[in-house]
Amino acid sequence: MSDTQVWTPSEHELARRSVRRRQRVRSTVIATVMTVAVLGLVVAGLLSSPGWPRVKEYFFSPEAARESWRAVLEAMWLNVRLFVLCEIGILALGLLIAVARTTRSAWLAPVRVVAVVYTDVVRGIPTILLITMFGFGIPALQLQGLTNDRVVWAGVALVVSYSAYVSEVFRSGIESVHPSQVASARALGLSEGRILRHVVVPQAVRRIVPPLLNDFVSLQKDTALVSVLGVLDGVFWATNYANYNFNYTPMVVVAIYFIVLTVPLARLTDHLQKRVVERERAGAR
């Protein structure tokens, strides 16, 4: 006979598991029924409203959707490229600003002041105004050596706007690292730069991934603001179609494309946030 014994749940434990399983099934069924009922009432209310035929004609026209979906999809690639390129610039500039704000060196006091003023001023300006000022204002200066491409300046405006927000996310992560970590690194003889690089920043980044992803969900949507410059992105193409054909269905198509892009990122954010909470709870026990 083996010395090791295989654990088997008792009858009471099996009964408790059975009760919990029935409760989960019951909760799932109730939630599903209630969700279907509420959505059914909303849809029924919309379909029975007096103006629904007109709304259907101007916003949900199958013919307009078939005519526009491919062209809108091609134009949306500009939004995707802007998102990816701006995200890289925002991460780099945001981290640089956060490090400048958290440094305690007396020699870098002017840098801290500039970083504080930058974040305060930029966060106070709506993104659409920054895009307009950069996209129209800088090319109007006719500066030698600078491009007049409005797409480029729209991307710069997005980087400037979002780096101010992301820098505060980075700063909160850096300041959340316990001082004992820094003290231990100093005791090991690490320089301030190596402490920041190898101890503080890696821990800070792990803690701020969910809020960072939330900012990037917003960034993906705000790439649509470049349409105010006349840039041929998805929103601008849909607006042109609506102006010439008096039908707004392509705007609904654009909205669906943005949903397809942002929802997976939002779900990833929720998943990572849940993992952070579970890890903190496990550490507390």
Give domain status of residue 56, yes or no.
no
Give pLDDT tens digits along the chain (285 positions): 455 667 787 888 888 888 899 999 999 999 999 999 999 999 999 888 888 899 888 898 999 999 888 999 899 999 999 999 999 999 999 989 998 888 777 777 888 899 999 999 999 999 999 999 999 999 888 888 888 889 999 999 999 999 999 999 988 888 888 778 878 888 888 777 787 777 887 888 777 877 888 888 889 899 999 999 888 888 999 999 988 888 999 999 999 999 998 888 888 877 777 776 677 666 544
**DSSP structural state of residue 96:** H
Give domain status of residue 128, yes or no.
yes
pTM (whole model) above 0.85: no
Give domain status of residue 30, yes or no.
no
What per-residue confidence (pLDDT) applies to 1?
46
What SS3 string covers 110-149?
HHHHHHHHHHHHHHCCCHHHHHHHHHHHHHHHCCCCCCCC
C-alpha R_g of the chain: 26
Give domain status of residue 35, yes or no.
no
**DSSP structural state of residue 10:** -
Residue ranges making up the domain that contains 119: 64-281
Give domain status of residue 179, yes or no.
yes
Give domain status of residue 258, yes or no.
yes
Q: Which two tokens stand for residue 60?
A: 């949900």
**CATH code where residue 113 lies:** 1.10.3720.10
Cα separation of the two ends of the chain: 37
Give domain status of residue 136, yes or no.
yes
**Number of domain units in the chain:** 1
Give domain status of residue 12, yes or no.
no
Triad 207, 212, 214: Cα angle to 5°: 120
CA distances from 24 to 18, 31, 86 (A): 10, 10, 44
What per-residue confidence (pLDDT) applies to 282?
65
